[in-house]
Amino acid sequence: MLVLRLLNVVAPAYFLCISLVTFVLQIFVFIPSMFRDPSTTPLFSPALLHGALFLFLSANALGNYVLVIQNSPEDLGKDFNLGKGAEVADWLDGSRSPGSALPGTHFCRLCSRVTQRHDHHCFFTGNCIGSRNMRNFIMFCLYTSLACLDSLVAGMAYISATLSMSFADPLAFLTLLPHSISQFFSGALLSSEMFVILMLYLWLGIGLACAGFCCHQLLLILRGQMRYQVRKGILVRARPWRDNLQEVFGKKWLLGLLIPVQNVESSYHRQKEK
Report the catalytic residues: 122
Decide: 236 and 103 in contact? Cβ < 8 Å: yes
Which residue type sits at 190? Answer: L
Cα–Cα distances (Å) from 71 to 96, 137, 213, in that order, read 28, 10, 20
Phi-psi sector, 227: left (phi>0), alpha (psi -120 to 50), beta: alpha
Q: Which residues pair with 122 in a beta bridge?
A: 127
Any idea what DSSP says for residue 175? Answer: T
Which helix (H) or strand (E) is 104 found in, with range?
A: none
Q: Which H, E and C letters describe 188-249, residue by residue? A: CCCHHHHHHHHHHHHHHHHHHHHHHHHHHHHHHHHCCCCHHHHHHCCCCCCCCHHHHHHHHH
Cβ within 8 Å of residue 8, ≥6 positions away: 110, 121, 123, 126
Decide: 119 and 134 in contact? Cβ < 8 Å: yes
